[in-house]
Structure 1
Amino acid sequence: MDLPDEFIPSLDRPVILRKFNKLSAATIRGIVSKWWEKIDTREKRSSTKELGRLIRKVEGKGHNRQKLIGFILDKFWPQGLNLSQISDLDFCSLLEQPNSFKWTLMAAENKEIGSAVFQVIPEQLICALKQDLQPLFSIHTCLRPHPELPLLVLRVQLFDQKRCGPESAQNPAPAYNSTRKLISRAPTYVVLPFNISSVGFSFGTDLYTKLIINSICKSVHSKNKVKLAKVDKLPVRNLNTVAFLHGLSRYANAQGVWRAYADRKVDSSPLDNPHNHEIVQGREQLKWSLQSQTGKAMMRFKGRTNIPEPTATSAEKLRYKSLLPVPRVDFIIESEKSPEKQAKFKLSLWGTDVFGGLHELCDKGYMDINRVPGWLTGENGPRSGKIINGEFYSEDISHRTL
């Protein structure tokens, strides 16, 4: 059964309040204002000032925000929040706390040609998903574009069609007429990147998530004759990593000293004057910059030579911040020169920004930039892997902590 946006599920108050607690005060104000605009009652004008006063208290300090939100819900939405409103809360939480979810990315494969290309039409995918799962569950779907990344995010929530009491068997009315007849399950998110043949799923091991994933894989296979297979063995930490590494991005394999190619500073337009190219004009400046250790570190870690003034606090942070901060990387270093001198060990680095921290250590003299290998400057992107005789080899386990 397809549940409408107006359906009000039976959710305990603590569950709703926990969703609000994950959001900032400014986001809560925006969501409540959006809901209030949709209300069409005679009492709306007289209650607008009171609602505004309560929201200002939520944004201020010295008040119990949880009690204020509970009071707002009891006064203005006493029957509870509908599925559209709950989806608003979940989507905002997804954007404000990107590390709270893990993601499994699946790409198209063909037995004959290996990687394959397919087109996902969201409306057809949702229709096939509903046809497949509606005999077993009631289902609600909500599709939203990501405001910053080239992604569409589909929220899918299943409800067990459980009948309560003898009246349910006699009453053939739709299940959504009674909130006590349905048991809601945790939503699953499906990510549809633009222009690439892959689909992402919020990581989960429960039965409901597996059913949704299997249904979508079956739909893609029946329409495009391709099979979806996992890109990485272990899940990715956030959507930024998904878009960065698996989207149409020049930065996925061009970091560190190679970042100038991703920034399109090396490529020149046929309409430009070649004598004005940065390589020609900036050659003397580049030679001067590379004479200092800080200039060499900036070039190797960031792929540029312009160094912000270290006096400003914001500039100091931007100086070392990586394009995609990596919280952890693992390297397995192997030496295969001879069986007698063979060595193997694992190097694990973690922090808020591993390569940004290594850059700062080089600037402060704790590391010699002339002896730092390229795989420690982030030139291979935010990937873990094996180092065999000094050469970097990426592995499938690379993105588990991103």
Structure 2
Amino acid sequence: MPLITIPTTARLPSSLRIDAQNPAVSKILSRLSRASLLTLALDWLDEDNQSLAAPFLLPDDHDEDDYDDDAFPPAPSLDALRQLYTDLQARKGSKRDVLDRFLEGDWRHGLTLYQLAMADLQYLHDHPLSQKWAAYRITPLSPRDPSDDTTDPPVVDKTSLVIPRFHPSTFLSALQARVLPDVKAHYNFDRHRTLPLLLLRIFILDSPYNTTTTTTFFGARTVYLAFPDASPHVFVSRPQSLGGAAGAGAESKSLHALLLDGVPKALSRPRQRFALRSTKLVTRNLEELIARKGGAQRTGAAAGGWGVYADEKVRESPLETVLPTPPLSEDGGDSGGRKREGPTSGEERAVKRARLVARARFGGSARVGDGKGSRREAEGDGDDGGTSTDKWRPYVRLTFHGTHVFAGIRQLVEHGIIDGERMPGWMTGEEGVTVGAVRDGRIRGFRGSGV
């Protein structure tokens, strides 16, 4: 009797198995290194994952002799298979052999969507710069008067401190029902291994944009939503396609816009609505996003020179009742019984003072090679807002380019090119501004920069 297929708008279950010979399965797994594949196999073989990632073992009604012709005979038990992959970790070999063992041996009956999600997340951990992330701020909207019949869009409530309550299952139900009702997709939540955020992977197999009559993996798309702990922000990745389907770029843009419109709706509740506002912060460095927009760590509001107090080893803080020791006291002056150094030239004193000023303004941040570079051209613009009627002022526009703008500015301060004492705080990163305009000597926020 042939199988009966029933159309559904529900989320695809994690237990749904995909044929091991499907090209999409090989493409997802082949991106991983041999070491990562073996680590992934041991994760699949964990007791907690057996309901969704069980391997093909020797059936009870068969003998080992029945599989003598197999290149990879099935293991007699789960413990034996775990030991086999543990031994493979200690030996050298090729990645191709491990892949063949996956697809032709231990998971010959197919891989579940849950296993593919674990493989995709493993790749994200191995290559943290593989995704391009954009940071958005979750802002509350002013409640609408029931008697108001106007069609004006809701207004952002700048005085409200309300943030949405996030529950994964409730959010997924709302997202599927209100945003992606016609999309065949698999959703998977997972905690990041090293960063304080929750990752939601959305794997879209079929969408209303598809013109084919059957659901295939060709052109399937993956998009990530990252929810940092204790922060009113959400990070959204660019949709990535498995295949090179025609019109993939336009469809990805439509999907991205659909998510940006639907995420705040899924977070909203009756009489409590939210919207997403772009912070204009786009980077491939997820750790840098956490440092700038995350909330579950001490560095969120302690950038620039204040970063010295965010170190867990520092016991004294400006918030303490006892006055702290200034960070530069151990470097300057001849106090503390230290022997006074001999006279130095004016140039040496200027160089030393520039370095001390840079340390005071930037603290331990903005150093070349600190891993916070965005791997893209970061930009910051400044202008004086034009001219006035009574006094002529030049129109000045500055643009800073580079992989780590703040580290470059720090080097300019250390070399005395920029006056570090008169430099505004937004140039050190301590105001958390990435894009803005300077008018009358003050930084003005720009489209959700938070200032």
Greater displacement, 332-341 / 90-99: 332-341
AA aligned to 2:226 is V
- Mark the CA change 1:48 to 1:200 in structure 2 (over 3 Å): closer, same or farther: closer
Q: Distance in 2 between matches of 1:122 and 1:35?
A: 23
Paired amino acid for 1:95: H
The AA in structure 2 aligned to 1:75 is G
SS in 2 for 1:5: coil
Paired position in structure 1 for 2:105: 75
Equivalent residue in structure 2 for 1:147, among 188, 193, 199 = 193
Whether contact under 8 Å (2:328, 2:356) holds in the other structure is no
Question: Separation in 1 of the partners of 2:446 and 2:230?
Answer: 25
Q: TM-score, normalised by structure 1?
A: 0.70
- Counterpart residue number, 1:385: 436
Q: 1:20 to 1:278 in 2, by over 3 A?
A: farther
**Structure 2 matches for 1:113-192, cutoff 5 A?**
113-114=157-158, 115=160, 116-132=162-178, 136-160=182-206, 182-184=215-217, 185-192=220-227
Which residue number corresponds to residue 111 of structure 1? 142
Q: Which residue of structure 1 lines up, in the alignment, with residue 318 of structure 2? A: 267
- How big is each residue's C-alpha offset from its partner over 1:143-188, in whole Å with a ceiling of 9 and x where there is no partner? 11222233222222334399xxxxxxxxxxxxxxxxx953343133
Equivalent residue number for residue 246 of structure 2 = none
C-alpha distance after superposition, 1:201-244 (max 9, x if no partner) = 33454444555554543333344621323233575544334433
3, 6, 21: which is aligned to 2:12? 3
User: Which residue does 2:236 correspond to in 1?
Assistant: 201
Shift of the 135–261 alpha-carbon distance from structure 1 to 2, 3 Å rule, reads: closer
1:243 partnered with 2:293? no
Q: How many residues align?
A: 358
The within-5 A match list for 1:244-323 is: 244-248=291-295, 251-263=299-311, 265-270=316-321, 274=322, 277-279=324-326, 283=329, 285-287=331-333, 292-293=352-353, 294-302=355-363, 320-322=368-370
- Give unmatched runs, 5+ long, in structure 2: 1-9, 59-73, 144-156, 240-251, 336-347
Q: Pick from 367, 382, 403: which aligns with 1:332?
A: 382
Query: Secondary structure at 1:149's aligned position in 2?
Result: coil
Aligned: 1:373 with 2:423:
yes
Residue 29 (structure 1) aligned to one of 22, 31, 38:
38
Deviation at 1:33, TM superposition (A): 1.7
Aligned to 1:170: none
Residues 87, 223 of structure 1: CA spacing in aligned structure 2 closer, same or farther, 3 A cutoff? farther
Which AA in structure 2 matches 1:118? P
Name the SS for the 1:295 alignment partner: helix
Q: Distance in 2 between matches of 1:322 and 1:378?
A: 15
Stretch moving more, 215-224 or 26-35: 215-224
Matched position secondary structure for 2:397: strand
Give the distance between the partners of 1:349 and 1:372, measured in 2 at CA.
22
Report the 3-state secondary structure (helix = DSSP H, G, I; strand = E; otherwise coil) of the residue aligned with 1:187: strand
User: Which string of whole-angstrom CA distances, capped at 9 and with x for unpartnered residues, describes residues 331-384 of structure 1?
Assistant: 233375766441222322202x33334434555x47466578345444444623
Task: Determine helix, strand or coil for the equivalent of 1:128.
Answer: helix
In the TM superposition, residue 107 of structure 1 has moved relative to its aligned partner by 0.7
Q: Specify which of 339, 354, 360 is matched with residue 405 of structure 2.
A: 354
- CA shift in 2, pair 1:80/1:361, >3 Å: farther
Q: Is the 8 A contact 2:137 2:448 kept in 1?
A: no
Report the residue type matching 1:110 in the other structure: L
How far the C-alpha of 1:14 sits from its partner, in A, is 5.0
Tell me which protein shows more helix as a share of its residues. Answer: 1
Distance 1:127 1:19, change over 3 A: same
Root mean square deviation, CA, Å: 4.1
Task: Give, in whole Å, the separation in 2 of the partners of 1:83 and 1:378.
Answer: 41
Contact 2:35/2:89, CA 8 A, preserved across alignment: no
* Cα distance, 1:209–1:254 mapped onto 2, change above 3 Å: same
1:349 and 1:190 mapped to 2: Cα distance? Answer: 28
1:384 partner letter:
V
1:264-299: per-residue Cα shift (whole Å, max 9, x none)? 7432545xxx37x424x9746444699623333222
Q: Which moved more, 1:80-89 or 1:240-249?
A: 240-249
Which among 232, 235, 248 is matched to residue 279 of structure 2? 232
Per the TM alignment, residue 123 of structure 1 is displaced from its structure 2 partner at its CA by: 1.6
1:94 aligns to 2:124 (yes or no): yes
Between the aligned partners of 2:181 and 2:439, the Cα distance in structure 1 is 53
Provide the rounded CA distance (Å) in 2 between the counterparts of 1:159 and 1:48: 32
1:31 is displaced (CA, Å) by 0.6
Confirm whether residue 343 of structure 1 aligns to residue 391 of structure 2. no
Query: Which deviates the most, 196-205 or 285-294?
Result: 285-294
Q: Which moved more, 1:30-39 or 1:287-296?
A: 287-296
Shift of 1:88: 0.3
For structure 1, the residue ranges without an aligned partner over 5 or more in a row are 163-179, 305-317
Q: Give the AA of the match of 1:188.
A: V
